[in-house]
Chains A and B, each alone.
Chain A
Amino acid sequence: EAGVVQSPRYKIIEKKQPVAFWCNPISGHNTLYWYLQNLGQGPELLIRYENEEAVDDSQLPKDRFSAERLKGVDSTLKIQPAELGDSAVYLCASSLSRQNNEQFFGPGTRLTVL
């Protein structure tokens, strides 16, 4: 069984440029999460989807971050414009359902903003 797939694995951009990250969850997983992991810290939830509906986006900086999961499968997280402080690893995870306790994580996208 394929795990959670993320691309790109690495991205280097200049500040004020836009950037997008893509995630394909495990087949059949209805719940999808985007996390932000700063260096030396644990992951922090940005947004959670139940199928195509964003059910918890309270930690998402909506002035510059956006996300979508149009068909309830893969998802895209966008930053526009990027700032220096956005440099971090962006992790995607999925689980069977909101009641399921085990989340499966992708390898992450390491973003560097210059």
Chain B
Amino acid sequence: AQSVAQPEDQVNVAEGNPLTVKCTYSVSGNPYLFWYVQYPNRGLQFLLKYITGDNLVKGSYGFEAEFNKSQTSFHLKKPSALVSDSALYFCAVRAPSGGYNKLIFGAGTRLAVHP
């Protein structure tokens, strides 16, 4: 069965420090992986995706993610965190289903960046 796991409910980091938000997945076939961010009272915003190619994917707002096939992981990273990065982050995997685009989301990780 297709699934996504985000093992940390919350990640705390000081402003200016690097951050990592973890994600592991289980899917049949080649994975299509995504990261979305959700600010309070707003919808999910697309950050980045991995489809194929380079394992390191660069996205919006300075975020990047590294695809690791052997560890079935797709961790989100940023070299220097900002207070404004504080939000809820969701990892998602596209489940192949007859060519349809069905996303399965993790439970989310709350990122808190402290000044």
Contact = CB atoms under 8 A, between A and B. Distances in A.
Interface of A: 3-4, 6, 9, 31, 40-45, 48, 55-56, 91, 93, 95, 98-108
Interface of B: 4, 32, 34, 36, 41-46, 49, 51, 90, 92, 94, 97, 99-103, 105-108
Contacts of B45: 105
A51 B45 CA distance: 23
Given A4-B43, A42-B90, A43-B44, A103 B100 contact: no
The SS class assigned to the B binding surface is strand
22 contacts: A4-B43, A40-B108, A41-B107, A41-B108, A42-B92, A42-B108, A43-B44, A43-B90, A43-B105, A45-B102, A48-B100, A56-B100, A91-B43, A93-B44, A101-B94, A101-B101, A102-B46, A103-B103, A105-B45, A106-B43, A107-B42, A107-B43
A103 B107 contact: no
A76 to B, nearest CB: 18
Q: Which of A3, A6, A108 has the most CB of B within 10 A?
A: A108
A95 B94 CA distance: 14
A102 B36 CA distance: 10
Contact of B46 (A43, A91, A103): A103
